[in-house]
Structures are given as structure tokens and as C-alpha cells.
Chains A and B, each alone.
Chain A
Amino acid sequence: MDSSLQVIIDALPLLLEGTVVTLKLIVISLIIAMVIGLISGLMSTSLNRLLRLVATLYVDIIRGTPLLVQVYFIYFGLPVFLDMRIPAMTAGIIAISLNAGAYISEIFRAGINSISNGQHEAARSLGLTRFQTMRLVVLPQATRRMIPTFVNQFIITIKDTSLLSAIGIAELTQSGEIIISSNFRAFEIWGVVGIFYLIIIVLLSRASRFIERRYAIR
């Protein structure tokens, strides 16, 4: 039997490939999720009832169903209904983006609501429009307060991408499964897979501390 070290060294190329796929999933999904979250968050703080309703419905549906069910629904369910094939990677990105977008929407909503009414009034009394007030006064302040909560959500989403192994995307967790199915070395491989996730997440949280200090709330 090979030594543990040899097993790990042999597995590294495939695991690194999986890590690249995972990083790709994370970056693309989180960018889309931030856009969806911002739009939905703005809708949920809008004066328009219909916009608020749509945002609430979206958040409720996503938060009220398990991510794995959402992944299966988009990958297996939607193609039946639409009569078209959705590639696993695309389905995975859609599912993760929609899922994280709902939680990020709530972060934006809470952040926007945390800015005092006096800030809105001061901006509006100068003649700034509602939109300018949001963009120039409210969001810059709210976003700074939201950084730690965003990072928390990002970390959860990073770990959520491991669920995409269920639809055969060759991301980090799936790579681990593939290796173990041929060499049966669960201890070494799951250990290394775990360490890879740990490294990604620790790097992210250190980076966020740095950003937080840099843009400290005034």
C-alpha cells in the first residue's frame, strides 16, 4: 500500500483541477448574486408595493426550500419543462446565484434600513433625487456596515458549491469522490479536500478584515 504522502501527491493534480472549477463557480456565482441581491434589496425597500411583493416572494421561495432541491429542480426539472438541455455548470451557477442572491438581498435590505432617516432627509432637502440619495448617500454608508455580513454569506456560499457534486460538476468535492472511488483512501483525500476549502475561506476572511480596516465606518 502507498504511503499517505504518496496518495496525496498522486491526487493533487485532480484536486487542483477541482479547486479551479470551484473557484470559477464561486467568483461567477457571487458576482451574479451580488447584482441580483442589490436589485432585490432595492426593490424590497422601494415605495412601490408590487416591487416589494416580487422581492419578498423571491426571498421567501429561495429561503423556504433546500438548496439541493433548487439544484435538482434547475438541472433535472426545468429541462423537462423547457424541453432543452441545461449544462451542469450553467445549472449550478444559476442555482447558486439565485440562492445566494436571496440572502444577499436581505443583507442589503437590512443595511439600507439601518441608515437613519436624517441622512435621507438631508440628501433630499438638497434636491438630490431618490435614486441619487440611494447611490451617493445611503448605499456607500450601508455597504461599509454590510461587509462582515457579506463575508459570512460568501463563506456559506463557498461551502454550498460542494452540493453541486450531486449533479456531476467536477468541482473540488466531486474530484475527491472520483479519486476515492478508485483508490479507496477516504481519510487522506477528504482530509485534503477539507484543507483546500479551509485555505480558500481563511484567505477570504483575512482579505475582508483588511478591506474593513481600510474602509472603516466614519
Chain B
Amino acid sequence: MVPPVAIVGMSVLLPGAPDLASYWRNLAGGVDAITEVPPGKWDDTHYAPGEQRRADRVYCRRGGFVDELAEVDVTGFGIMPNSVPATEPDQLIALRVAAQAVADAGGPDRLPADRAKVGVVLGRGGYLTPGLVRLDQRVRTASQLVRTLGELLPGLDADRLDAVRQAFTDQLGPEAPESAIGLVPNLAASRLANRLDLRGPAYTVDAACASSLIAVDHAVRELATGRCDVVLAGGVHHCHDITFWSVFTQLGALSPSERIRPFHRDADGVLIGEGTGVVVLKRLADAQRDGDRVYAVITGTGIASDGRTASLASPDSGGQVRAVRQAWAAAGLDPAAPDSIGLLEAHGTATPAGDAAELATLAAVFGTEGSAVLGSVKSMIGHTMPAAGIAGLVKAALAVHHGVLLPTLHCDDPHPALASTRFSTLDAAAPWDAPVRRAGVNAFGFGGINAHVVLEQAPGRAKPVAVREPERVLRLAAPTVDALREAFDRAGTRETGDGPVRLGIVDPTEKRLALARKVLARGRAWRGRNDVWFADRPLLGPGGGKVAFLFPGLESELTLNCGDLARHFGLPWKHADVEVGDVGRQGAAVFELGRLLHAALGRIGVTPDAVAGHSLGEWTAMAVAGVHAEEEVDTFLAGFDPDALVVPGLAFAAIGAPAARVLEELAGRADVVLSHDNSPNQAMICGPEAAVGALVQRFRDAGIVAQVLPFRSGFHTPMLRPYLDPIRAAAERFTLHPPSLPLWSATTVSEYPAAEAEVRELFVRHLLEPVRFRPLVRAMHDAGFRAFVQAGAGQLGSLVGDTLHGEDHLVVAAHSGQRPGLAQLRRVATALWADGLDVGFEHLPGERPAAPKAVKLDLGGRLISLDEQVRARIALPAAPRSTVDDLAAKGPLAAEFAALLADTAELASTVLAGPARRLPAPRELDTTLPVSLETMPYLLDHCFFKQPPQADPGDRWPVVPATTVIDHLMRFAEQAAPGRHAVAVHDVRLSQWITAVPGVTVPVRVRPQGTHRVLATLAGYSQAVVELAPEYPAGAPAPWRFPASAERAPETTAAQLYDERWMFHGPRFQGVTELTAVGERHVRAVLTTPAAPGALLDNVGQVLGYWIMSRLPERTTVFPVAMREIRFHGPHPAPGERLECLVRITGLTEEFLDADMQLVHNGAVWAEFTGWRDRRFDSTAHIRQADRTPERSTLSVEQPGGWALVREQWPDLATRELIMRNYLAGPERDAYERRPPRGRRQWLLGRIAAKDAIRQFLWARGEPEMFPAELRIGNDEAGRPFATGAYGRDLPPVTVSVAHRAEAGVSIARHGPCGIDIEEVVPRAESTVEAALGPGELALFASLPGDPEQWFARFWTAKEAVAKLRGTGLRGEPRDFEVVAAAPEEMTVRVAGREYRVCCADVENPSGAPPRRYVVAWTEETKETAG
């Protein structure tokens, strides 16, 4: 049996996903990362879909590409940037992804120290990869070229031919023989092993598309045999060479329709992708022992081949079945059991044969009982070949870990064979509810090699993700405290800044930032509490204070935690991170810890201005100061006998009182003496056990804290004298050197003497006289020392703090039992920096001096082109010998005739050629686009919201339409390529709306992509690839025709679209003149070109929006998010021109609406749109109504009894944003943003309910129409809500009360006091019930028939409602509000002698929301409460 294997770290680089987090987002969001081949990757002539098949012709050019994402910080990996071009890119990508995976698993420090137990196995194919392609071009193609030219043009001499070869290979860059190793394929794994110092197995495996899972199987076996403790496994494939595509074209495997739709009925082939993925695997038992975060557990793997089958190229179900069964058997599970599996990540290549075989396999192995989800990530990223298995494995592991079932794209009409299995596909992510979440992953490779892996969720509760990366340090410096405050408050401050006033926070959590804010407000120095350091004036550096290292002596318990420090800086350290309880053995450890910390601090640029020690720590100080040579100290420690530190019968005690007081108590006796004067609140005594014990008791009786300590050494007392000789003898053997830095003595409270003899004498005195630590610290402070670094374990720092209490000083410990050494060192660095010292942060992990310089990798296999100058230089003869030339050789008359013919020919060709248009290549362009109502006044007609006329324009929310953005991108592209028109736009992406209020200036970037395309970007908002040409292309397609039977007349007219606000557009965007016809999957309209930029195309979107509104009841609010291609066949029509708009729906899911369109001008297609994608937002008919006529509709529904109930029917964040902006005006939106995220939704519901309740109340009393923005709801100091009018609206006096719970908000408005509350009906603990209800109420409560939970809710809401009406709240005394009568719809509450009647109602969440029941209670209007 193979032990279960845990996946403890993962990372990927896949199309659309540069890292794991973005991969997860794409998976859950159903993102389609397929694009066209990036321009320049192949020669355009290879794409010839209509032509006759040939090896060099492909009929498909869409796939999954990572060119834009392929960046690697090579210097961070110790690789010279100039060796990159010669290196196979997949090796560098594998390095990057593996390093990320290791970091995800906790960092290289968490790998086993014995690196022979760590291995790496990567799946990788033997295809022609970019590095080898370049080498082949350099070696073979150059030679071939020269040979062929020589054969065809014998007139060329050797020099010319050589010039050709040179010119050709020059285009590939200089030769780099030292980097040739970078072309050896298995280095994808070995380079990794080299870099991370992995000494276990490191190799690649090739099983075509099954390679990754084969690699995982190898890893599992290495872990099972115990040869390895950790294995990195995965797959890497970056090969889009035209030869690879040619193979797939010849096999006919590529999709002619250029789509990959796994398990779709009409799936017609594969699209090729590329990528890399690496996972970190450990035996589950080890992962649990080490406290790792486990994504999923691999419980079984299976591998089997098809054997002899009909054809090498066709998949066979038999081999697949065997592999899957083998894996499930290894996991000890029955795959056909109804609850066996929740998610199957299929191989799913979308070839008819592949899908059919796989579905047969699934039916055979998993049976038909139970239900499960089937998926294939190939629908999103293409077929990543040897990396397909790992892409699927990571997807399945993420799904299992997050408990989310993932969608598969484009499967709207599933393969019929799917029905015979228990599987179905999802088109959107869904929660995964199962007792045990289990998944399977298939990978089937060419030639019939099949693999399957079974995964399940990690056992136990999901641990909160421990923060693995090194902690962040926030550092800010400024010239004044005010400037620092400003920098702190400025969101997104990246620069540290400069100046003497400094703030440092380690791991800046919300809590620490809040504390820092308070500290800054006080303006006084704050040193260290809660890992915050602030100095308004530096003590060190410019402040002139000095730094001292203090070395502690022995502690009663010592917890070492500095292994990571030693490893990071490469310093020697042989102790394990454990507790050293035995005082005797501690000595050496304490000593070495002090030296380690001193060395580590030195590495980050912190050196002491003096050293000193406490008790035995003074020896460490001596060694660090160089008084004793390192080797002598090491020898001494090696031979150190801990039992030498015992004087029998003696004990020490620590007393919580000043030394003077202790001496008083000792009153001159000789048996017990003062051994340490540590601080104003601590002194130590030493003497015979019994006497010390008695004294401790005396002190305690007097109320003074006292504790016996476990040391027996007798140091620092005269009692040691008889035992002194062995120690003195050992010390005499030391050679003494003058100290290399000031060394202070705690015996004399001054610096050590210079003379050798005096040093030896002081060494002895130190052992016999008390440690006068407190006076030492005082003296050092007087001598100008301001920072004290505790270079070891224990509480020495707090003694210093106690002594220097009230004076300016900084104390920080360089070692802590609570966190590892590097983390503590980070704090020391921050503390010292904050007080003015220059510290080398770049030597700590996680800190970089500047942004890492990532090098872009070249994944292309471009054909080589020689530029003009080179061609001119080589100047091969242009024309071949012709009959004219032959003629010329035949005699003088013939020669003259030949010359005449040649002249004529030349003249003719000049006339015919015409002026050569020499257009420059597009250039780079960086500029800005100012967006505001001033620069784009037409935006006032593109506002989402209707608001009262006197409202701020910002409340109407003017937004730049997507098509206007595209229009601007096209214009900028044209600016970068003068003389050319923008004739097409590709891969438009719209990520964020551009709001015009407040105005914003958007950076614009245009970057050429080849000779006639540019990538135009509005940073942060959108981008598109714009194709440019001198002329508009001819060859427009014919306009579409729809059969009359498929359409009917629309029910809405174009005028109604705008008058009734089905579309929010104002006059300058109202271009729909006629809605002509609408059908199941299409709509036709007539547009009149408006003048505003982008407005004509925006109207195309409006027509699409009309289609969905007219056909579907819900989620009909749509906005464009992407467009695959827009192509223009002429210049933009002039304003006023009429065009026909034809829209064909190509896809409709819960989340998206896809369509293709044509704009027809004068009978010819002027513009074609392909792949226009709108995103659908939550909206019901009710919500739409509120949106169209906000001045007289409410989102809330008025309830019998006169109160408003609003339900949250918009869990989608973007829709919530829309609703929020509709209801909340200017300052209210700011208040919304400032609210903490938790509870924000409920607060919004409360506000909506309040505004609606007031409006409903006033409308019933004859008030005219009122927009929500004309009301403002505030809360007084007691928290009670109140309403005021805005934008000139005067409100009559009205009182409002609000409550909210989960997905419901309620409110009531009256002229006089009122109260309302809502509570969910849930089980309550008995203690809660008893705390809320008094004895009388409990009796009443017990007597009521029916559901007690519901009654409790009624009791509670009734109390609350009355408490709110009275304006006091419950004040923590619910029993003061006594329920004296209770009925399902009415309650009576007595408080302070008065009785109040309260009405109740039961409410439920609608379907679609989580099932909940609530009770709502509101006060009834009586004579007293009515106004």
C-alpha cells in the first residue's frame, strides 16, 4: 500500500495565469484565455485555411499562449541575463514556477536539511523548442541557405556567400558557447536541482500528454520507498514551433472552427496550448507533523498502456479504464460507489475520437449511480501537452481545497454519450458539498499511455493559512512629524521617504496600523510594543546616541530558535531549535548564541559601539570583543565541564525589590549575600538553601515578590573562592588580546582595563563580587549609550527598561523564544532604523533593494528577415540572365538592340511601379487621456442613473462607454503610425469602468507588435490590439439575411427605449432610430450615426441589450467586457448617416451574452464584430423598475401595517455597487466606503429600507415624487437614525427606525416616535433565553403553543422595537422591557410602567437566497405616538 501523499505547495504559468492565484481566479471565473497566435510568432503565410493541405500550412491559428507572461528574474536565480537568449526558455520558466511552488510550501528553509532526500521529476516532451530552433537556424538553415544559393546562382563567390551566412546568423545574436548547456533538454529538471541544491533524483520523463501524471507517479513512489522526503513534480511544455503545429494539422487534430469545446456534441478538435506547473509533494504523515498547509491528498495513481490497438493515433478505452481502475484500487476505493467522486478533471481534448473514448471509459469505471461534475481545463487554456496533466491536477487540487466545483467552457450542447455517465458539466462555479471531497484527474498520451490520479481533501479542519512569506516591514521616513503623518495617511505610499522622523512596523496588520495612527497622533516616541517603532527624534545616527550589545547569562529555561538565522547567513550553528533545560549544559549554548547573533547583526550592518554582559554573558562579551581568540574559546567550550558550575548546597533567589532594600533585610550577615543588583525592582541573593528559602518567605510575607532560582553555581559571591582554582587555571591558559571595541565590566561599572594582568585580576573579581548590572546600565546611559540590544535569550531587556524607565532609550532583543531568529532580527533592524541607524535590510529575506528585473523570454520561432541596409550591402544580382542578355553577346548590332530593349524595359517598369510608399513602422507612444465632464461633455448623456436636476453630476454617474474607449484606442494607435488607418481591433479587454466624476487622467501606452499591429492600453482600464494599414481592406462579407419565419415585429419602439428609460442614454447617444425585427437568436435595427465619439458602436451594444431585455425575465442588465475582433471596411460614417445593425446571438449563459454583429452602410458591410461579450448582472424586473424610475419606485416592498421590507437580491458585487450608487448620493457613498467590509451589505439594506419607508410614508400623504438621493439618513450620537432632505428638498418632520439582518432590511417611518426590529428565527441557547426573559416572561413563554424559536424572536423583536421607539435601546437590560401579552401578530410590552402595543409579522427569504425565517416587529401607532 502506498502512503497518502500531500500536496503542500503549487504554482503554475499557464495562458492567462502568471501564478497560482490568478489561475484560481480564472478557473472559478470561467475565463477563456485562448487567443490568436501572437503576431510575429510565425510567418503569416503558414496560416492558409482555405488552401490545399501541405506540411507547412496550418488551418488554425488560435491557441493558448504565455508570451506576455514569460518573464523570469534570472539574476535572482544566479543566471547572467546575457545567457538568456541562448537558453531553452522552458528551463527558466520551470525554475521560476518551481521556486514559487517551494515558496508556497513555506520556503526553502522548510525543505529537509538533508537535500539528498529531495528530488524533482518533470514531465517534458522531446519537441522542437525555441532554443533548439534557434540553434537549428544558426547551424543548419544558414548552411542550407548558402548551399542552395550557391547552386542556383553560380555567379556568387565565396565571400558573398559568407556575407549572406553572416548576415543571417547575426540576426540570431552573438554565439554563446558557454551557454550551450542551456539547450540540453533534461536541464529543465537538473537546473532546478542545481539551483535549489536538491541532491535526490532529478530528471524529466516523456509520456506525451500523460507526462506530468507519470512524473507525479514517480514522485509518489519515491516518497513511498522513503528514498525521498519531498519531491517536486510537474510538467513543462513551451513549444509553439510551426513544426509542432504542422504535426497536429497533418493529423487533422486541430479544430477547423478554431474552438476547443470538450464534450460538446459538435466538438471538432483541439487547440494547442503551453504551460508549466509544479507541485510540492510530501508524505501526508510528514506534512501533518510539520504543520504544513495541505491542498489535497493523493491517495492513488494508476498507469497503463493500450497495447496493440487499431491505430497509434486513436485512443482506446480499454487502456484508459485499466489506468483509472488501478488508481482507485491503490486508493482502496470503489469508483462506482455513489459517493465516490465529486469532480473528474478529464483529459478532454475535444477531438471526436478522444471525447468518445473517454466518455466510454467514464461510463465503464464510474457507473451511473451518484452524480458528479466533469470538467476539462483545456476549454480555457488549450491542450498543454506534457503539462496537461499538471494543469488538471492543480485545478483539481484547488477545487478540492476551496470546496468549489469548477466550470467548463463552451459545453452548451453536451455530447450525447455524457448522458450514459453520471457526469455533467457546469457553466459556472458552484459550491461543493460532500462529506469527503474527492476528485480524479485523467491524462492520456499519444501512443496509448494512460495515467490517472485520485485526490481527496485534506483531513481535519482546514487550517487558517499560515503566513509563509517573510513578513513585510512598513518603513516611512519624513522630515517632520506632520509630514510623516501625511505620508502615512496617503493610501498607496510606496516610497520609504527620507528624514529623521521615522516609523517602522513589522507585519503591518490593520490593528498595528490603527495603533500606529494613534502613536503618530500623540507624536511621542514609541518603541516596540506591538512591533511598532516610532521616533520623533532619532536617538542614534544623527541623534548621536551609541549602540551597546548586552549578552545575557544563564536563564532558568532556554528555548533556542535561531537555526534559520544561521542557515540564511551561512554561519556555523550546531544546536537544534529546542529547549535546553539543564542549566549546566546551557552554558555553551548561551555563549554560542551570543556569538551567532553578533555575527548576524554584523551582516545587516549593525555593529556595537560597546559590549557588556550579565553574569556569564560577560564572558561572551569578552570573546566578541576579541579579548579571547575564537579558536581558544572553541577549545575551551569543547572541554567545558558543566558540573564545574556547581557549588554544593547553595541556592539563588530573585527578589522583586531594589538592592538597597534587600541589603537592609540582609543586615550585614555573611551566609547570604547580594549577588546581583539587576534593576530598581529586582535584586538576587545567594546563600545556603535553607537560609535563602527562609528569606524568600520573609519577603513574600511582606508582600514582596520572591522566587528561588535553579542555579547552583555560586558565582558572584565570596562562597565561590574555595572552588575557584580550576576555573582560574583554565582562564590563565587563554591568551589575552586588547579588546577591539569598548568592553564594560559589571563588576567595576566601567570599561575593562588595558593591562593584561589587570584583566586577569578583574576576571577573578567578577566571579567573586556581585554583578552590578543596574549601575552598569545607568553608567552606560550617562556615557551616551541609547540603544541596548539583548544579544541572547531571556529577560535582560526588561531589566534595562526598568532601570532606564523615564529616560529616552531603546531596548530590543535579538532572540525570542516566540519566533524564529530571522523574524526577530527583522524587528531589531526595524527598531534601530526607526531611531536613526542605517541598517542593511537588503540582507534579510523578503527585502529587495529595488524592483526585481525580470527578463522577458523569447518563445517565438520567427523566420529571419534581413533589413534594408544588409540587403543593399550584399547586393545579389537582381535579375536572372534573360534572352536579351543572350542577344547582347551576339555582336555589336545585336548589343545595341539589346541595350535599347533594356532601356525600354526599365522605363516601362518605372512608369508602372508608381511612387513607392515608404511608410515608417509604428512607433511607441506614451501619452495621457484626460477624462472628465469638461473634456468629454457628451458623457452627460451616458450616465447610469437618473437623479433630480439639482443633484451633483457625480450622483448621476457618468461613465465612458466601452466603444468610446475603443475609439480612443484606435485614434492613439493611428497617432503612433502616421499614414495608416486603424482597420481592425483584436482582443479588446475592458476591465473597469472609467468614471468621469471625479475626473481622471488615464495613462495611455501604445507599443508596436510587429510591422502593422500595436497594443494600445489605457492603464488599468482596457487594452486592445489595433491593426493598422494604409488602406481599408476590401473583401467585406455579404450582409446576413434572416428568414422572415424566424423573426417578428418588436413590442417596443425605438422611441420607447429612451422615453421609458429601458436604456439610460441621453440625446447624444440615442442612435437607435428603428427596432426592425427580433427573433430567437437575432435582432435587426436601424441606427442613425450620432456625433459623439464611439456613440455609433455603443448603439450596437444597445441593440444587443434590447434583445436580452425582450427575451429574458431576469439578469438583463448587461455591459460589455470583451470583444474578439472588430473589422472596418471603410472610414467612420458621418453624423446623420443611417446604417442597418444586424446582431446574431452566439452564446448565452448565466454570466455572459455573446454575439456577432454587422453594420451595413448603403448595402455593404462597413463593420463586422466577432465575439462581442457582455456580462450579465443580477437584476429582476423589480430592480429594473427602480432603476428606470427611481423618483417614484422603491426597491423595498411596502408591507401591511405600513413598513418597508427590502431583500438583497443582488449578491453579485458589481450589481451591489450599481444599487448602492443609485440610492446613496455623494457623501453617503463615502460613508459606505468607510464602513468596515463586514456588515456593509446589511448597512446598505438598512439605508435602502429607510429611504423607501420615508418615501412610501410621504407619498401616501400626498408628497410629490422623490429620488433616493434627495434624502440623507444619518445617526445621532445615541445611534438613532434620522432623515434630512437634500438638493433643496424640504422634509416634513418624520421619524424613522431601521433594522437589518442577513439578507433583509426593514424600516418604518412615522410622524412621531416609532421602532422596528427584525430577527432571524434560529435555535437559542438556554442561557440566552434566560438572560433575555424575566420570570414572568418565562412563564408566559413556556405557556405559548407552537415553535419556541419563533416566539423567542417575537419577544426579542418586540422589546427591541419598543426600546428603539423610546430612543433608549435595550441598554443591556432586556428584562426591563417586559412582554406581558403575546399573540402571533401582536405583543404588548411594559416598560417603566407604560404599556406599548407591537405588531409582528413573519418573513421568509425568497428562493435563490439561503433559506431563513425572520420575525419583524414594529410599534403600533397610538394616540401617544402619533404626531
Tell me, yes or no, whether A binds B.
no
Partner-A contacts on B (CB < 8 A)? none
